[in-house]
């Protein structure tokens, strides 16, 4: 069943790019006791994700934090090395935390999987954003196929 507003995030493990290499972090530890703006993209370095989605959160970082967001995080079904390279290329370091969901375990657990096989991308995560408050979904914004509207930083700002 797809996650919904009011649900606690399920247990899953992300991999963050770190200075010493990939670092594992559980959903329980990452989201505990704080408000996190999490957004998911179908893939690092893909057109809409690189031209619009990630840049919206980089540009709106100060506004989101001024409205009570403790951290902004991006997830994709990519490995930590790709997510780290994308962060550097996009200028997201220090602004958006990259959470690799390399095997798609998180998007499977919340039932927001995208079948990108017709594009040669395999199983990915749908485009969405979640405002998480102490591990609980406060806002959930899932895009219609091919859309980029409700998962943007601009839209999330209207929900804070």
Q: What is the pLDDT of residues 71-124, one digit of tens each?
A: 999 999 999 999 999 999 999 999 999 999 999 999 999 999 987 788 877 788
pLDDT number for residue 118? 82
User: Phi and psi of 81, rounded to 5°?
Assistant: -70, -45
What CA–CA distance (Å, rounded) separates 19 from 1? 36
Cβ neighbors of 22 (< 8 A, separation 6 or more) are 15, 16, 79, 80, 81, 100
Closest by CA to 60, choosing from 98, 36, 96, 17, is 96
CA dist., res. 121 & res. 72, Å (int):
25
Pairing between β-strand 123-125 and β-strand 23-26 as defined by DSSP bridges: unpaired
Q: Average pLDDT in the 34-61 region? A: 95
| Active site positions, annotated | 49
Q: What is the rounded average pLDDT for all residues in the chain?
A: 95
* Residue 41 · residue 127 · CB < 8 Å: yes
**Domains in the chain, ordered, with CATH?**
13-159 (3.40.30.10)
Residue 47 pLDDT class (50, 70, 90 cuts): confident
CA distances to 7, 11, 21, 97, 158 from 50, rounded to whole Å, are 30, 28, 23, 15, 22
Pairing mode, strands 123-125 and 113-115:
antiparallel
Mean pLDDT of 28-32: 98
The SS3 of residue 39 is strand
CB 107 within 8 A of CB 101: yes
pLDDT of residue 117: 80
The reported pLDDT for the residue numbered 59 is: 97
């Amino acid at each position: 069943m797809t996650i919904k507003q009011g649900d606690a995030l399920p247990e899953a493990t992300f991999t963050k790019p770190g200075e010493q290499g990939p670092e594992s972090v559980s959903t329980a530890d990452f989201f505990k006791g704080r408000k996190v703006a999490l957004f998911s993209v179908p893939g690092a370095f893909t057109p809409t994700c690189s031209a619009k989605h990630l840049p919206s959160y980089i540009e709106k970082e100060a506004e989101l934090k001024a409205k009570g967001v403790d951290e902004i995080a991006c997830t994709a079904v990519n490995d930590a090395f790709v997510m780290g390279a994308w962060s550097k290329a996009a200028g997201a370091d220090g602004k958006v935390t990259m959470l690799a969901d390399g095997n798609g375990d998180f998007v499977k657990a919340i039932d927001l999987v995208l079948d990108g096989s017709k594009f040669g991308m395999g199983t990915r995560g749908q485009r969405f954003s979640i405002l998480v408050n102490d591990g609980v979904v406060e806002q959930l914004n899932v895009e219609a196929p091919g859309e980029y509207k409700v998962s943007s930083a601009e839209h999330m700002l209207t929900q804070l």
